[in-house]
Amino acid sequence: MLVSPPEMAFAEVWVDVAGPVGSKAFDYQVPPDLATRAVPGTRVLVPFGRRRVLGFLRCRKASPAVSETRPILNVLDDAPLLSLPHMELAEGLARYYHCGVAEFLRLMLPPPLRVAVRKKTASPNVFTAAPDVARQLAAGRLRRAPQQEKALRFVLQHGAVARQELASLAGVSLGVVDALRQKGLLVPVDPSWSGESDQHVPELTDHQRTALTSIRAALDAGRMEMFLLHGVTGSGKTEVYLRSCQAALAKGRQAIVLVPELSLTPQMIEVFQARFGYRLAVLHSRLAAGERWREWTRIRAGQARVVLGARSAIFAPCHRPGLIILDEEHEFSYKQENSPRYHARYVAEQIAHKFGCVLLLGSATPAVESYQAACQGEYRLLELPERIEARPLPQVLVVDMRAELQSGNRTIFSRALTDGLANCLLQKEQAILFLNRRGFSTFILCRECGTVIRCPHCSVSLTYHQSDRLLHCHYCGRRRRPPDTCPTCGTSRIRSFGAGTQRVEEEVRRHWPQARVLRMDVDTTGRKGAHEAIWRRFRSGEADVLVGTQMVAKGLDVAGVTLVGVVAADTALHLPDFRAAERTFQVLTQVAGRAGRGAQQGRVVIQTYNPDHFAIQMASRHDYRAFFARELRERQTWGFPPFGRLGKIICRGKKCDDVARLAEVVAEAAEKAGVDVLGPAPAPLERIKDVYRWQVLVRSHPGHPGFDAAVAAAMVAGREVGGGELSVDIDPMDMM
């Protein structure tokens, strides 16, 4: 523990206050009565202006940097909650993302607890679930004993729990716990237990072994190294993750495993649970405060060795992290969309440097930035080019919806998809119908030739705004009247485009009244556990067709699925976002990867008005490298990442004119500071709940030294003029 000598009568404190003051530490006096408790990493109460605010003690010092200091009012913790390396990490991140240090420190803390937590005495009465329990629960064996089922699910989630705690935390009686022990469903934790249950552990394939050898070499040497694992869908990346974790644990270190959304990957939890048992901590957003606190302490105490969670689990309090894994590293959910707007991959890289960790990024469709980093030697590329058991990748058919229309088919299903579905139902196989829909899709598309109106200056699709009936470019702000006839083919079949999942579901029911259809989208998955319930029903064969949005594209490993239909590939293609092609390629590859994971060969039908678009073409051929090469050229031409660094400054306010003026000032200030400025322009979602949003994009070469200064100058200028709220998003992923 860090003890400060008494002559260090001052302390630097980060105050938990919004705005630019949050980015620097302030000096305070340490009163003699608090001198022993005021150690780095504790939370303190300090006066700030006329308020009392929460602060984090950074360090003690002998003399303050300013002449007048005020005293710390109280120290809130008996022992530091934050370690020095983690505080340094937060400081670095705050600088990079232009936000307050405390915003990051807060992410590293356990959740606030209303009840005081007693110091735990060691209990010999600790239990874990018997090896086979997950399978028995899935098979519904305990449906008649809901209390027992509840207790077991709790244990499965937590790895190991004491008898008393299990009863009180899971809300069951001690009798229930004892009954489970008698049935052999709960077994005592043997301290020497390896944590491996009798789950089948497969023999590695050659490709898996080669990848693992490289990772293990870095782990054994204890050196920082970053790997990009590019493996096609169904190539067995998870097994590489599991073995890498074991290798890290063998070195006495901890592993952090991030997945895009835990609720979408119940299979992942099961697999990790089976392999690591009580050594696993699972952090997800639906944990109650008490559960979260317990997991946090288990990680912090080093009892939990593997941490599985979504984005924010990157801040888990591991003392000796040795390995960090990001599964599906290209996923957008790794970027937090409200302050602090960090990307888990960037944070992971910083931790890897600081702690000398191995970073393992895995994906079938790596982000362009990541693959480029691998090409340049920053990451080491590992490849799994084949599916397990040499299963073929699915055959993909691209259907030209313009031709369908010309031949008189006005329905939302092409003949190929209709035939495919009919056949699939006849064979008693399963199908997924996928519709890519992110919020809205109001681009203008010609049904005759597939033309979409784009900005000639920014290479993004223009968005139709109902309010002024004009097409807007959301990067540069230019606007124009929508054409009455298509500029390419001259017909008048050019209009706005979009269809919902509900519509698709209705169509399926109309065509095939006997088909059992499930729908998975934001409307049907609002309730807790709803997503998992739909997933389980589909997996167990209770439905023939699953209709859904992005949610169905990820993580589903259902052997019965032989057909995947992409109802409209174009919705992703024409988002006003420079990553639109990349998103399209990724989502098509992911959703296609759901087909043919069992013994039967899979088929995919992609419906589109742009059959020749390179993202669709390359996805249909499973050709990541060709896609990457082409997309990289586009990025270079337009100066977008990885060839440019972006910062998005967002201006929000109730008064349209004020916000526009504010954006103007911000843009001007950034320009004066010597970086490229795109905008100001109204955001694609210009008005949300009566708040107007404008944005300014700041762009520079990746190594440009003036980038941060320009962002800071723009923010200062904006705050001076006022008229709305300002925020900045560094390396933005969401361009809406």
Q: Which residues bind Zn ion (CB under 5 A)?
A: 455, 457-458, 473, 475-476, 478
Among 233, 333, 463, 700, the residue binding ligand ADP under the rule CB under 6 A is: 233
Alpha-carbon 688 to chain mean position: 23
Query: Is residue 208 at the binding interface for ligand ADP, with CB under 6 A as the rule?
Result: yes
Neighbours of 2 (CB within 10 A): 12
Query: Is residue 386 at the binding interface for ligand ADP, with CB under 6 A as the rule?
Result: no
Q: How far is the CB of 484 from Zn ion (least distance, A)?
A: 22
Binding partner at 80 among Zn ion, ligand ADP, none, C-beta below 5 to 8 Å by kind: none
Q: What is the largest CA-CA distance in the chain?
A: 87
Angle at 269 between CA 264 and CA 274, to 5 degrees: 155
What distance in Å separates the CA atoms of residue 613 and residue 108, rounded to the nearest whole number? 44
Query: Is residue 631 at the binding interface for ligand ADP, with CB under 6 A as the rule?
Result: no
What residues numbered 539-598 form the site for ligand ADP, per CB under 6 A? 557
- x/- mask, ligand ADP, residues 5-44, rule CB under 6 A, reads ----------------------------------------
Among 49, 124, 191, 202, the residue binding ligand ADP under the rule CB under 6 A is: 202
Sign for the pseudo-dihedral over CA of 682, 683, 685, 686:
negative
Query: Do the beta carbons of residue 296 and residue 108 sit within 8 Å?
Result: no
Binding partner at 208 among Zn ion, ligand ADP, none, C-beta below 5 to 8 Å by kind: ligand ADP
> Which one, 238 or 451, has the nearer CB to ligand ADP?
238
What token pair was written down for 190?
Answer: 């043997």
Among 128, 148, 238, 562, the residue binding ligand ADP under the rule CB under 6 A is: 238
Q: How far is the CB of 591 from ligand ADP (least distance, A)?
A: 13
Q: How far is the CB of 661 from ligand ADP (least distance, A)?
A: 50
> Of how many residues is the chain composed?
736
Q: How far is the CB of 134 from ligand ADP (least distance, A)?
A: 14
Binding partner at 205 among ligand ADP, Zn ion, none, C-beta below 5 to 8 Å by kind: ligand ADP
Q: How far is the CB of 239 from ligand ADP (least distance, A)?
A: 4
Among 42, 128, 235, 365, the residue binding ligand ADP under the rule CB under 6 A is: 235
Q: Which residues neighbour 75 within 8 Å (Cβ) at sequence distance 6 or greater?
A: 34, 37, 38, 42, 43, 44, 45, 57
Q: How far is the CB of 228 from ligand ADP (least distance, A)?
A: 14
> Which one, 260 or 680, has the nearer CB to ligand ADP?
260
Residues in a beta bridge with 696: 649
Query: Do the beta carbons of residue 733 and residue 579 sit within 8 Å?
Result: yes
Query: Do the beta carbons of residue 578 and residue 640 sit within 8 Å?
Result: yes
| Burial 531-551, CB ≥16 within 10 A → b, else e | beebbeebbeeebbbbbbbbb
Query: Is residue 187 at the binding interface for ligand ADP, with CB under 6 A as the rule?
Result: no
Query: Is residue 331 at the binding interface for ligand ADP, with CB under 6 A as the rule?
Result: no
> Which one, 481 or 527, has the nearer CB to Zn ion?
481
Binding partner at 455 among ligand ADP, Zn ion, none, C-beta below 5 to 8 Å by kind: Zn ion
The HSE-up count of residue 642 (CA atoms within 13 Å, CB side) is 15
What distance in Å separates the CA atoms of residue 683 and residue 725, rounded to the nearest whole number? 14
Q: Which residues neighbour 532 within 8 Å (Cβ) at sequence distance 6 or greater?
A: 263, 266
Binding partner at 616 among ligand ADP, Zn ion, none, C-beta below 5 to 8 Å by kind: none
Residue 702 class from Cβ within 10 Å (0-12 exposed, 13-18 middle, 19+ buried)? exposed
Q: How far is the CB of 430 from ligand ADP (least distance, A)?
A: 16
What distance in Å separates the CA atoms of residue 221 and residue 213, rounded to the nearest whole number? 12
Q: How far is the CB of 125 from ligand ADP (least distance, A)?
A: 34
Binding partner at 476 among ligand ADP, Zn ion, none, C-beta below 5 to 8 Å by kind: Zn ion
Query: Is residue 236 at the binding interface for ligand ADP, with CB under 6 A as the rule?
Result: yes
> Which one, 57 or 697, has the nearer CB to Zn ion?
697
Query: Do the beta carbons of residue 605 and residue 415 sit within 8 Å?
Result: no
Binding partner at 233 among Zn ion, ligand ADP, none, C-beta below 5 to 8 Å by kind: ligand ADP
What token pair was written down for 207?
Answer: 């490709």
Q: How far is the CB of 367 from ligand ADP (least distance, A)?
A: 17
Q: Which residues bind ligand ADP (CB under 6 A)?
A: 202-205, 208, 231, 233-239, 388, 557
